[in-house]
């Protein structure tokens, strides 16, 4: 394991440490630095960010942060937050044609609740999907750690029966993902391919960055050659270039796939991709539960750690 892999694993461990979270959240400089990656905590903040992104020719998908909810009231609050957000986005004319959509985590909607947590989460997701459809947009179902992969794909199938445009997310660090790509590369199927941002055991996932990248390319070939709608979620310049080449080899129209990058990461490259005529969607997180998200973003790319530390130093 090289130094970058060790750093990644350490940061993923930190994402679960409440004491470290408390220190970072209370540091006076943290909020100003975090706003680079998370525009704020309420609708006004994220609608403002989505408006700015739309003005530059980019699309967006919005995530109300939170996961592993074990309280029914919190799961209901998350559902209500998405309903309120979609209403606000529609009122601003941002949802037409799916220009701005939302991304959901089933664990934030109650999947981990005892008893019928899966049913509760699915019901909440259905309600959000219905509001999204009324607003003229859609939903993407985020993928979480490997223990919930099958449950998430089961929920995807159920939701697509009524809402066929619901997007899936697959993670290239899992051994199983090539097979999942083949299963989901059908007409009308929207699939976001990312590397994966959770700490997974060697029994289910590639451990080195090089192996994850190789798997990403194999999976991307399957999606680009299929009949679905690939969503290329990567900031890696090499993988972005490979994606374009694979799309060209498959004879894909620029409107038949899209690139995706995170809010605050490589914004100038995002604009460049949009300006050249390709579709670029920005993943915008918002809300109070930003700590775990921030740790995983830094784990994905060591350069993000350097950015955070520079930001802290500049504000000290």
User: What amino acid positions are annotated as catalytic residues?
Assistant: 142, 192
Residues 6+ apart with CB under 8 A from 43: 84, 85, 88
DSSP 261: E
Q: Do the annotations mark residue 234 as ligand-binding?
A: yes
Binding residue per annotation — 238?
A: no
Residues 209-237, buried b or exposed e (16+ Cβ, 10 A)?
beebbebbeebbbbbbebebbbbbbbbbe
195 is in an annotated binding site: yes
- Please give the Cα distance from 33 to 54 (Å, whole number): 23
For the stretch 243-252, contacts whose Cβ atoms lie closer than 8 Å and that sit 24 or more positions apart, written own/partner, are: 244/278, 246/220, 246/221, 249/224, 250/224, 250/225, 252/224
Determine the length of the chain. Answer: 316
**167 annotated among ligand-binding-site residues:** no
* Integer Rg of the chain from CA: 18
The label of the residue with tokens 């919005």 reads 62
Tell me how far apart the alpha carbons of residues 90 and 35 are, in angstroms, rounded to a whole number: 24
> How far, in whole angstroms, is CA 157 from its chain's centroid?
19
Q: The tokens of 81 are what?
A: 């937050």
The Cα–Cα gap between 67 and 258 comes to 26
Ligand-binding annotation for 171, yes or no, is yes
**SS3 assignment, position 251:** coil
Is 143 labeled as ligand-binding? yes
149-to-105, 106, 144, 177 alpha-carbon distances in Å: 12, 11, 7, 10
State the binding site. Answer: 105, 143, 171, 195-197, 234-235, 296-297
Q: Which residues are annotated as a binding site for FAD?
A: 143, 171, 195-197, 234-235
| Binding residue ranges for substrate | 105, 296-297
């Amino acid at each position: 394991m090289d130094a970058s892999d060790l750093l990644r694993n350490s940061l993923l461990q930190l994402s679960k440490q409440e004491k470290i979270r408390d220190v970072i959240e209370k540091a006076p400089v943290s909020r100003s630095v975090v706003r680079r990656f998370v525009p704020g905590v309420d609708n006004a903040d994220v609608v403002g960010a989505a408006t700015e992104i739309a003005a530059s020719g980019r699309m967006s998908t919005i995530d109300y942060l939170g996961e592993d909810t074990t309280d029914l009231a919190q799961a209901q609050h998350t559902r209500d937050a998405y309903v309120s957000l979609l209403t606000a986005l529609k009122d601003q004319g941002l949802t037409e044609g799916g220009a701005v959509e939302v991304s959901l985590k089933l664990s934030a909607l109650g999947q981990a609740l005892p008893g019928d947590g899966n049913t509760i989460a699915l019901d909440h997701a259905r309600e959000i999907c219905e509001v999204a459809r009324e607003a003229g947009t859609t939903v993407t179902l985020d993928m979480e750690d490997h223990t919930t992969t099958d449950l998430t794909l089961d929920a995807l199938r159920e939701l697509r029966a009524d809402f066929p445009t619901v997007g899936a997310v697959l993670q290239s660090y899992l051994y199983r993902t090539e097979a999942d790509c083949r299963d989901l590369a059908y007409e009308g199927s929207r699939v976001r391919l990312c590397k994966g941002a959770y700490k997974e055991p060697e029994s289910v996932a590639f451990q080195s960055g090089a192996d994850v990248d190789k798997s990403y390319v194999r999976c991307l070939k399957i999606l680009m050659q299929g009949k679905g709608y690939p969503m290329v979620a990567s900031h890696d310049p090499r993988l972005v270039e490979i994606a374009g080449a694979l799309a060209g080899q498959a004879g894909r129209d620029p409107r038949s796939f899209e690139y995706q990058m995170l809010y605050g990461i490589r914004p100038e490259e995002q604009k460049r991709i949009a300006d050249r005529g390709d579709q670029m969607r920005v993943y915008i997180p918002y809300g109070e539960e930003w700590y775990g998200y921030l740790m995983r973003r830094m784990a994905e790319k060591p350069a993000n750690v350097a950015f955070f530390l520079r930001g802290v130093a500049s504000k000290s």
